[in-house]
Structure 1
Amino acid sequence: MLLRAFAAHADVARTAAIAGEWLDADVDEALVRECLLAFAELGLLEAPGLTLEQLRERQRQARRRHYEHSRAEKLRALLPRLRALPFYARTLPAAAGEAAVNLKELPVLDKAAVRAHFDEFLPERMPAGEIRWLSTSGTTGERQQVVRSLADWDASQPHTWALNRTIEAARGERFCRLTTPFCDGSECHLRGASRASRTRGPRLSLDGGLDIAALPPARLEQMAAELREHAPAYVLADPSYLAMFADQALRRRLPLPRLRFVITAYELCSALHRRILERVFECPVFDAYGATEYGALAVQCEAGRYHVNPESFLVELRDDAAGDDARELLVTTLDKLLMPLLRYATGDLARPADAPCTCAWSESDTLASLEGRAVDSIRTTDGRRLTAGAVDRALAPAAPGIVSYGLVQRGEASYRLDYLPAEDFSEQCLPDVAAALHAALGPGARVQLARRPELLPASSGKFRLAYVDGRPR
C-alpha cells in the first residue's frame, strides 16, 4: 500500500495521508518516512529496469550491513565486560573511548593461556541459572577446563540451527545422539547405563563405545532397537561413530527408522561417512561446526555451505602462511556472559567461500569447507601442507567401498593408509586409491595400504582422518 501510494505521488506527506485514509487512522509522517527509507535500502524503490538478480544482491548487501552494524555494537559492549575479568584487564590495550573497535588490533587468545590462567577468566560471582563445569576432548592439544552457563547456551544455539530450515523445523522433537564418551565434556561414560539414565527430555544417547567398529551383535541389535523405539526425527552424531554403526547395521540387515535428516558434528565428516549415512538412513546429512567452549557456531545449509551464526559470533580466518587456502578460525563470542572469548585461536582450519551462497542466508559469513584440525595436517614429499579435508577430497572419490580411514605419515615420504572396508567393498578400488594418494602426496611418496578389522580413536575419543606419527623409528 505504501509503495503504491509513494510510486503514484512521490511525496511522503501525501503518502501518509493516503495511508491514513485507507486505514481509517492517523498515520505518522515520520513513520512513513522511516518505512520508505527501509524500502529504499532494500532496493524496492529503484527504477523499473532493476533485474531480479540486482535486486537480490541489493537486498543481500542491506541484510549484511544490518548484521555488521549489530556485531560492531555487540563488540563495543563486550569490551567493558571483558575488562571486568582479570585476564583481559591486564592483556587488553587501554580503552580509547571504543567508538570504533578494530578487532585485528586486539590480541589473539590461545588455548595455552586459557589453561594456564583459567581462574582469571571467571567473574567474582557466577551468574544465575544452571552452570556446568566441563572439559574439552583435547583433540587440538591438551584438554582444558570450561565453564558453561545454560542461559548463554540457550541464547546462541537457536540462531545457529535456524540457518538450516530443515533442522529448524525439527527443533524440540525427539532425537538420538551417538558420539564419543567425551562429547559433552564430561567424564561420564554411558556404557552399560540404562536407557532411562541415557534419556534426557527428547534426547536419547545411544550406548556406543570407543570400539564402535567391533561391537558384538547383541549391542548392535540393542542400538538399532532403541533407535526404532525412540522414533527420532533426526540423529546428532560423530560421523565416524555413526558411519561404523550404519555399516554394521547394513551387514546384519538390522531395520532402522526413517529419519528426516542426520546432523554430523564433533569431528571432520568425510565424504565416505556422508555416503554411507545417506545410503543407510535415506535422508540428507548436514554437517555442523562447534566446540565445547562455545557450542555450535556454523551449520551447513541445504546447498551445502557452512553459515556462521550472525547473531552470536564474530569469526576471522587467520592466514598461517602455509601456502594453501586453509585458514585458522579465530572466534569471538558476542553474547556469552560467562567465560567470553575474544579472538580465540581454535586450532581448526576452514576454507573461505569465494562467492555468496544461493540460500536464504546469503548475507552471513560463509565457509566453503571445514579442513579439520591443524595438528591433523600432514606434509607432502615436497613439503606442502595437506589438511585432513584436502586428503579426503583426494581419497574419497576413489574409495567408494571404504567406511573410514586414517592416513598416517611415518616419515618425509612414507605413509600408511589404515582403512576399514564397507559392506560393499571391492579390492578393485585399491589401485585407484593408491593412485589418488600418490597424486596428492607428491613424487616419490611410498604408500602402504593396510586393511583393518577395526579402527581405534585417539585418546580424545575422536578418529583422525590424517596425522603425523611422531614416534622415533
Structure 2
Amino acid sequence: MALSTVALTVKYQLRRTHPQRGRLQRRLDALEHADADGIRAYQEQRLRQLVRLAARRSPFYREYFRNSGIDPRSIRTLDDLPKLPLLSREDLARRSDDFRTLPRWLMRSVRSGGTSGVPIECHRTLASTMFELAALERQWSWFGVPENSRRIVLRGNTFATGGKAPTLAVRGARQLLVSSYHLTPDRVDRIVADIRHFAPDVVEGWPSSIALLAALLRDRQIRIPVRAVITSSEVMAPGQRALIEQVFEAPIIDHYGQTERAAMAGACEAGGYHVFPYYGIVELLPVEGAPDRWEIVGTSLQNRGFPLFRYRTGDEVRPAAPGPCPCGRAFPLLGVVDGRVEDTFTSADGRPLPLPSSIVDDLTGLREAQIAQLRPGVFELRVVPGTGFSEARTTAHARRNILRQFGSGQELRVRVFEMLPRPPSGKLKTAVVDPAPPKDETSFGRDTIPGKRT
C-alpha cells in the first residue's frame, strides 16, 4: 500500500474513531436547532475561553495584551471583539509560530500560497480537523448524503504521473481518487469504468476538475447519477454548475473556507448560503470604494492550538439574500463569495491543468509568489524573497511540484522580483495565464522538466 494511501486511511479512521466525535455531533445538533440568542451565547463562551488561552500561551497575543494595556478578561461578548487587532495574511507570513499555543509536534502543519500570492504556514490540532469533518458532514446531511459516504475525489492527486492509472481506490477511506491532471479523452473510458465499479454516493473536489470530467462524460453522452456533488476552493461559473448538475443528476453542495480555518460557510438545501456559527465568528468589513462589497473577517472557535481572532481573509462578499432562509436555521446568511478565481493552465501535450496555484502552496522562504503560464507547457515562477530564501532550493522544489502534478516535458522559468507587478485592480493573483510577462525582474533562469511527456 502506497504511503499516500496509508496516510489517507489513517486520517479517515482517526477522525471516525475520535473519542469526542459523539459529543461534538450532539453539540452540532443542538446548535442547529438553537435560536440566535443560543448561538450567540455559545460563541461568546468559546471566545472567552480561547482569548484567555491565547493570552497565556501565544507569544503574539501575550505581547499584544501587554503592549495594548487591554485585559484579556475584558473580552467577554461579541461586542468586545473589536478591541482585538485585525490580523492580516502578512502577520501570519512573518510570525506564524508566535500564534501557536501548543508545540509543533502536536499539530499538523499546512502551507498555502492563497489567492494573494503571500505564502503562509498554519497549524491544526487533530480535534479541530475532526470538528471540521463533523461540521461538513452535518451540512451534507441536509442534502441526504450518508455520514459514511463513498466519495469520488478530484483534488489534484499526483499518483498518476509516470504513466500510472488515472484513478486510485483508497478502500480504508471509502474514496476513489481521480487525477485532476489526467482528465483527457483517451483516459475517460478507464475512469468511467472505475467510477461505476466503485459505486459512489457523491463526487467531491475542485469545481474546475469536476467540470472537466463532466464535459468528457457529456461528449460521450454518459451520465453518472449520485446523491450530491461537493465543491470548494474555487468560484464556480454558472455554465460549470449547469453542466455538473446535468451530468451527475445531483444538487451541488458548496462550502467556503480557508487554509487558515478562520471561518466556514456553505449552501443549504433551501438555496441559502450560511455562515456556520459554531465553527467561527464572521464580521464583514466594508471595502473601500465598493459600497456593495465587504471583506470577510473570521475568528476561529475550534482550533485551540492556533487561535486566530479577527483574521482578514482577503475574500470579498456581495449582499446576502433577504432572510430568513426557508430552511429555518438561525444561521446568518452570506452573499456570493468572490474567492479563488484562476485561469486554467494547459500542459505541453494539451492536457488541462486545474487549480495551478497548488504548485506554489508549499514553497517556503517567500514573501510573494505567483505561477504564470506563458504558453502551453511553459511556466514562470515569480517570487519575492523572504526570510530564509534560497533560489536554488525554491527552483528545485517548484520543479518537483510541476513534475509530480503536471508531468514531465514542461518548461519552468524562475524570476526574482523586489515586488510582484500588480494588475490595475491592485489584486495579486497566485496563478495567471500571462503571455506578456513583466520585464523588471532582478534575476532570470529556466529549465525544462526532463523525461517523456505524459
User: Would you call these one fold, judging by a TM-score over 0.5?
Assistant: yes
- Of the three residues 183, 190, 204, the one matched with 2:176 is 204
Contact kept, 8 Å, 1:148 with 1:338, in 2: the verdict is yes
Q: Deviations over 1:390-444 (max 9, x none)?
A: xxxxxxxxxxxxxxx95xxxxxxxxxxx999xxxxxxxxxxxxxxxxxxxxxxxx
Query: What is the deviation of 1:107?
Result: 0.6
C-alpha change, 1:259 and 1:458, in structure 2 (3 Å) is closer
Q: Deviations over 1:430-461 (max 9, x none)?
A: xxxxxxxxxxxxxxxxxxxxxxx876556414
Query: What is the deviation of 1:333?
Result: 0.7
Contact kept, 8 Å, 1:160 with 1:309, in 2: the verdict is no
Q: CA RMSD in A?
A: 3.4
Note if 1:115 corresponds to 2:93.
Answer: yes
Cα distance in structure 2, aligned partners of 1:245 and 1:124: 42
Aligned match of 1:227: 195
Cα distance in structure 2, aligned partners of 1:234 and 1:98: 46
Contact kept, 8 Å, 2:124 with 2:303, in 1: the verdict is no
Cα distance in structure 2, aligned partners of 1:61 and 1:230: 36
C-alpha change, 1:127 and 1:333, in structure 2 (3 Å) is farther
Q: Greater relative contact order (Cα 8 A, min sep 6): structure 1 or 2? A: 2
Contact kept, 8 Å, 2:54 with 2:101, in 1: the verdict is no
Cα distance in structure 2, aligned partners of 1:466 and 1:322: 25
C-alpha change, 1:284 and 1:166, in structure 2 (3 Å) is same
Please give the TM-score of this superposition, normalised by the length of structure 2.
0.64
Contact kept, 8 Å, 1:307 with 1:361, in 2: the verdict is no
Query: What is the deviation of 1:261?
Result: 0.9
C-alpha change, 1:361 and 1:237, in structure 2 (3 Å) is farther
Which residue identity is paired with 2:41? H
Query: What is the deviation of 1:267?
Result: 0.8
Note if 1:349 corresponds to 2:316.
Answer: yes
Aligned match of 1:89: 62
Question: 2:287 aligns to what SS in structure 1?
Answer: coil
Which residue identity is paired with 1:77? Q
Note if 1:239 corresponds to 2:239.
Answer: no
C-alpha change, 1:159 and 1:267, in structure 2 (3 Å) is same
The total of aligned residue pairs comes to: 328
Question: 2:256 aligns to what SS in structure 1?
Answer: strand
Q: Deviations over 1:340-367 (max 9, x none)?
A: 2111111111124242243334311111
Q: Deviations over 1:184-227 (max 9, x none)?
A: xxxx6654666557555112221221x64xx2x33222222221
Aligned match of 2:412: none
Note if 1:64 corresponds to 2:64.
Answer: no
Q: Which runs of 5+ in 2 are unaligned?
A: 1-31, 360-371, 373-428, 440-454
Give the greater-gyration-radius structure (CA). Answer: 1
Cα distance in structure 2, aligned partners of 1:218 and 1:338: 46
Contact kept, 8 Å, 1:160 with 1:297, in 2: the verdict is no
Cα distance in structure 1, aligned partners of 2:128 and 2:122: 13
Aligned match of 1:151: 127
Note if 1:264 corresponds to 2:231.
Answer: yes
Q: Deviations over 1:5-64 (max 9, x none)?
A: xxxxxxxxxxxxxxxxxxxxxxxxxxxxxxxxxxxxxxxxxxxxxxxxxxxxxxx99701
Question: 1:366 aligns to what SS in structure 2?
Answer: coil
Question: 1:327 aligns to what SS in structure 2?
Answer: strand
Note if 1:179 corresponds to 2:147.
Answer: no
Cα distance in structure 2, aligned partners of 1:171 and 1:274: 24
- Of the three residues 290, 297, 300, the one matched with 2:257 is 290
Question: 1:117 aligns to what SS in structure 2?
Answer: helix
Which residue identity is paired with 1:153? T
Which residue identity is paired with 1:98? S
Question: 1:146 aligns to what SS in structure 2?
Answer: strand
Note if 1:460 corresponds to 2:357.
Answer: yes
C-alpha change, 1:172 and 1:104, in structure 2 (3 Å) is same
C-alpha change, 1:249 and 1:75, in structure 2 (3 Å) is same
Most deviating of 145-154 and 109-118: 145-154
Most deviating of 193-202 and 265-274: 193-202
C-alpha change, 1:89 and 1:193, in structure 2 (3 Å) is farther
Note if 1:310 corresponds to 2:252.
Answer: no
C-alpha change, 1:302 and 1:465, in structure 2 (3 Å) is farther
C-alpha change, 1:458 and 1:236, in structure 2 (3 Å) is closer
Cα distance in structure 1, aligned partners of 2:180 and 2:315: 26
Query: What is the deviation of 1:274?
Result: 0.6
Question: 1:319 aligns to what SS in structure 2?
Answer: strand
Aligned match of 1:335: 302
Question: 2:283 aligns to what SS in structure 1?
Answer: strand
